[in-house]
Chains A and B, each alone.
Chain A
Amino acid sequence: MAHHATDHNQPIGEIPKPVTGWIWKTFFVLVGVTALEFAVTFIMDPSTFRNSILIILTIFKAFFIVAEFMHLKHETKGLIWSILVPMALLIWLMVALITEGSAIGEAIYSAFS
């Protein structure tokens, strides 16, 4: 409550002090995860398992950007869902078309074998 009292005592027209702690926290999370992605890319050999780790880390980063920087975490539930539900369909699109790509490749390269 003491904090509130100081707010009220502030003279009109005075600009409040910036509160930036959460911004820098988010920044360090993003930098840390990017560094981790780099480490994973160069330490591990290319495989589906490595790529899955990279994709999970990417979604983790995306969550922080959308939730904190774009402030979506603090919006109403309706807005959050109307953004997230259509995005979830894109995962389906991607899995479907990558499978399709493998099938096309298979058909081309092993048509005469």
Chain B
Amino acid sequence: MKPEYKIISDLIEKDAKVLDVGCDDGTLMEFLKTNKNANIRGIEISKEKVQICIAKGLTVIEGNAEFDLKQFPNDSFEYVVLGQTLQAFINPETVIRELLRVGNKAIVTIPNFGHWKVRLNLLFKGTMPITNSLPHDWYNTPNIHMCTIKDFVRFSKIINFKIFKSLALINENVSDINNSNLIFKNLFGELGIFLIEK
């Protein structure tokens, strides 16, 4: 289980109605079902992963978040979770708007491209960074819109959504991000976790 699942779970109230966008093999869904008694649904693009979810008894729709969120009415869910996939969308702005339309709140996690290892990788090697969390080459990566924690904070101001809570994951430890430590967290955070609202 990914270390951020526990953190995501802590952000969600008990019995909440939750949509996991890009739910993968349903590990987070199961975790939220067990720990938060969440009424949880998932969308997943991969047929194989959908099959795994069905085998776990999870309610999952095969689909593409970029096109298939449309079918949900406004405020269908209390929380919509988007785990480490914002960077893979053609239009992240549309996706964020859709998340906040479909859900009252959204939890978005991003692999931080501002992490010092990524920066050093580019600085010294002079090639596109390849790290544990970003294992692809530039030509085959699904991650076409990488951003940093700082970028995401700026993004919130540009497209006008509220960041309710922002957390950084550093060596499996979680800490708050605020204005005064943003530069530091943006350098050491492997992952940014944001609870956002319209």
Verify that A and B bind, or say they do not.
no
**What is the interface of chain A, defined by CB distance below 8 A to chain B?**
none
